[in-house]
Amino acid sequence: MDAQAATAVNNSIEVILPLIVVSAGALAVLVADLFLGPRTKGLLAWLAAAVLVVTMAVAVGQWVTFSGGLSFSGRAPEAGFADMVVMDKFGLFFVLLFGAAGLLTVLLGDAYLAARGAARGEFYALLLLVIAGMIGLATATDLISFFVAFELMSLPTYVLAGYARRDPLAGEASLKYFINGAFSSAILLFGFAVLYAISGSTTFSAISAGLEEPSLGQGAAMVGFVLIAAGFGFKIAAVPFHGWAPDAYQGAPTPVTTFMSVGIKAAAFAGFLRLFAAAVLPAWEVWTPILMVLAVVTMIVGNVLALPQRNIKRLLAYSSIAHAGYLLLGIIALGETGDQYGSSAVLVYLVAYTFMNVGAFGMLVFMRNSRPFFRYTLEELRGYGRTAPLPALALTLFMLSLTGIPPTAGFWGKFYLFSAVVDAGQTWLAIVAVVMSAVSAFYYLRIVWYMYFEAAPDVLIPGESTALPASAGAVAAVAQGDHREVAERPAGDAGSSTVMSTIAADDPAARAEPSAAPLHADRQPIDAHLVETDTGTVAALLVAAAGVLFIGIWPQGLVWAAQGAVRLLGGG
C-alpha cells in the first residue's frame, strides 16, 4: 500500500472513530459479561456508561484546538470512505446528543434490570450497537452508508423492545415493531432506487445535482419522495405509519421505551435532515407538500388520540407521535426558505425533547421501582403529590415542559420551531401547531391534576402502589379480558421464581390456582430486594430536570450550538 492510500485509510478511520469506539465498547461489554457473576452484573452498566463518555470525548477531541485558546473552529469537515461518510459539526452535535441519551438510558436501566434479575450484557451491548447505527446515520452522505446505518440502528432495537422475553406484551411489541420495520425498510429502499435512477449516483452531492434537471421528470421524483416519506414516517411514528408505536412503547421495558422515544427519533431526524438538506433540496417543491400533509395529520391525530388514554405509557406514545409532527415543521421550513433556520430549530427542539421526555419516562421507571404494583395508570397517581412531593414536583416540571410552558426547555423548543415556520411563510402551519399544543395541555396537565387534586385511596400498603393487589388485579383482568394496561413482567431468569414463591406464600388464590399465575405475572411485584440503590434513576432524573430548567432559563447557548452545527451542514 502506497503512502497516499495509507493516508486515505487513516483519514477514513478517523472520520468514523466515534462509531468504532462505541462498537468496540459493545464487544467489550459482551466479553466482560462472561466473567461477571450474578451479583456483579451491575458493573456492566458502569462499563457501558464509560464507553459512551469516551465516545463523546473522542468526538469532541476531533474538533477541539488549543492554539490561541480553546476553539471548535480550527478544523474543516472531512469526508471518508469515498465520500460515503463525513465528520463535521452536525455529526459532532448528534454524537453528543446520542451519547447523552444513551447515558441517561443506562442510568435508568441499571436498577430497573437489577430488580428483575435481568442485568445481562446483551442489553447494554445492543444499546451500544443501536447508538453506533445512530452515529452512522447522522454522518452518512451516501444512500448506501445511510441504509446500512439505518438497519444497524433498527435491528437491535427490535430485540430490545422484546427484552422482557417472558412478557407477552413485550413479545407483541417486538414483533409489531419488526414486521412494520421490515416493510418500511423495503419501501425506503425503493425510494432510494428512484433517486439513483434520477441522478445516476448514490452520493448526496451528485443526487442534488441530478435533481436540478431530473432526467425522469417530476413524476418519478414524486414517487421517490412518497416512498422515502413512508420509510421516514415509520421510523418517527408519523401518521399514518404510527400503528406500531403505542403497543411497542407500552410493551417494551420502560428504559427501552425511553430510548426509543428520544434516541431513535433524534437519529431519524438527523439522517433525514441531512438527506433533505444535502441531497434533495433542489426538488423542495415536490417533497415539501408531502411533508406538510404528513405534519398536519400527525399533529392532529397524535394529540387527539392521546386525550382518552388512561395508561401513561400509551399517552406518552401518542404524545411522541404529535411531537414528530412538530419536528417535521422544521424540515418544511428548510425546504421553503433554503436557509438553515429550520434545521437549527429542529436541533434545538430535539435536545429539549430529549431532556423532557427522558424525565417523563424516567419518572415512570422511578415509580415502578419504588411501588412494585404500579401499572402506569392515571388512577394510581391520585394523591401522589402529597405522598411523594419531590417526585411529583419533578413529574410536574416535565409535563409543563412537554406542554411548552415557560420557563422550560419545551417552550423555547416550540418557540424557535414555530418561528422558523412563520419566517418560511407558512403561518397556517404554525397556527395548527399552536392549537394542537393547546390541546396537548389537557392530557399533560391532567397528570398534574391527578397528583395534586385527586384524593388518594383511604388505604395504602407501604411500599406498594395504589393499584389493586396482585391477586385481585389478576382476577379483574381475567374477568374483563384486559391484557393491555399492565406493567412489565420480570424479564430475566433470576428472581422470577422468588417473585412467584412470594406471591404464593401471601396469596391463597395463587396457591390454589398455580396454572393461572403465569398469565398475569406482570402484575406481580418486582424483586425489590435485588435493588441495592436507585441512585442511577435519581441521577438521570436530576440531569433531565437540570437540562429542562437550564435551557428554559438560557436557551441562547443551545441555539448557538445548533446554528454552528447546521451551517452548510458541513461544519464551517
Q: Are 302 and 171 in contact (CB under 8 A)?
A: no
Task: Let me know if residue 251 belongs to a domain.
Answer: no
Considering only CA atoms, give the Rg of the chain.
Answer: 24
Is the model more confident about 513 or about 170?
170
Q: pTM to 2 decimals?
A: 0.86
Q: How confident is the model at residue 458 (pLDDT cuts 50, 70, 90)?
A: low
Task: Let me know if residue 294 belongs to a domain.
Answer: no
Q: How confident is the model at residue 73 (pLDDT cuts 50, 70, 90)?
A: low
- pLDDT tens sequence across 101-129: 999 999 998 888 887 777 788 999 999 99
C-alpha span between 27 and 104 (Å, rounded): 20
Q: What is the pLDDT of residue 457?
A: 66
Mean pLDDT of the chain: 83
Task: Let me know if residue 85 belongs to a domain.
Answer: yes
* Total of domains in the chain: 1
Residue 494 scores a pLDDT above 50:
no
Task: Let me know if residue 215 belongs to a domain.
Answer: no
Q: How confident is the model at residue 172 (pLDDT cuts 50, 70, 90)?
A: confident
Q: What is the pLDDT of residue 336?
A: 84
Q: What is the pLDDT of residue 85?
A: 92
- pLDDT tens sequence across 406-435: 999 999 999 999 999 999 999 999 999 999
| Residues with Cβ within 8 Å of residue 349, at least 6 apart in sequence | 326, 327, 330, 413, 414, 416, 417
Residue 173 scores a pLDDT above 50:
yes
Q: Quick one: what percent of the chain has pLDDT higher than 70?
A: 82
CA dihedral 272, 238, 541, 411 (to 10 degrees): 90
Task: Let me know if residue 264 belongs to a domain.
Answer: no
Task: Let me know if residue 71 belongs to a domain.
Answer: yes
- pLDDT tens sequence across 30-40: 999 998 887 78
Q: What is the pLDDT of residue 76?
A: 79
> Collapsing DSSP states into helix, strand and coil, what is residue 167?
coil
Residue 402 scores a pLDDT above 70:
yes
Q: What is the pLDDT of residue 56?
A: 95
C-alpha cell belonging to residue 40: 456483579
Q: Are 222 and 183 in contact (CB under 8 A)?
A: no
Q: What is the pLDDT of residue 211?
A: 86
Task: Let me know if residue 158 belongs to a domain.
Answer: no
Enclosing domain of residue 82: 1-139
**Cα dist from 381 to 192, 318, 363, 477, 534, whole Å:** 47, 19, 12, 20, 20
Handedness of CA 513, 517, 520, 523 (dihedral sign): positive
> Collapsing DSSP states into helix, strand and coil, what is residue 142?
strand
C-alpha span between 353 and 408 (Å, rounded): 11
- Select, from the ranges 85-89, 472-476, 499-503, the one with the highest average predicted confidence (pLDDT): 85-89
Phi/psi zone of residue 568: left (φ > 0), alpha (ψ -120 to 50 degrees), beta? left
**Count of CB atoms situated within 10 Å of the CB of 9:** 13
Residue 149 scores a pLDDT above 90:
yes
| Residues with Cβ within 8 Å of residue 222, at least 6 apart in sequence | 286
Residue 154 scores a pLDDT above 50:
yes
Residue 572 scores a pLDDT above 60:
no
**Count of CB atoms situated within 10 Å of the CB of 563:** 16
Average pLDDT over residues 205-227: 83
Q: Evaluate the omega torsion of the peptide bond into residue 407 and state whether it is cis, within 30 degrees of 0.
A: yes
C-alpha span between 145 and 271 (Å, rounded): 11
What one-character DSSP code corresponds to residue 79? E
Lowest mean pLDDT among 57-61, 271-275, 381-385, 491-495: 491-495
Cβ density class 429-463: b for 16+ within 10 Å, e for less: bbebbeebbebbbebbbbbbebbbeeeeeeeeeee
Is the model more confident about 304 or about 285?
304
Task: Let me know if residue 431 belongs to a domain.
Answer: no
Average pLDDT over residues 282-311: 93
Q: What is the pLDDT of residue 4?
A: 66
Phi/psi zone of residue 217: left (φ > 0), alpha (ψ -120 to 50 degrees), beta? left
Name the nearest CA neighbour of 235 among 351, 141, 134, 139. Answer: 134
Average pLDDT over residues 360-381: 88
Q: Are 541 and 362 in contact (CB under 8 A)?
A: yes
Q: What is the pLDDT of residue 463?
A: 42
Name the nearest CA neighbour of 127 among 49, 35, 236. Answer: 49
Q: How confident is the model at residue 220 (pLDDT cuts 50, 70, 90)?
A: confident
Q: How confident is the model at residue 80 (pLDDT cuts 50, 70, 90)?
A: confident
Query: How far is it between the farthest Cα atoms of the chain?
Result: 80
Residue 263 scores a pLDDT above 90:
yes
Q: What is the pLDDT of residue 101?
A: 96
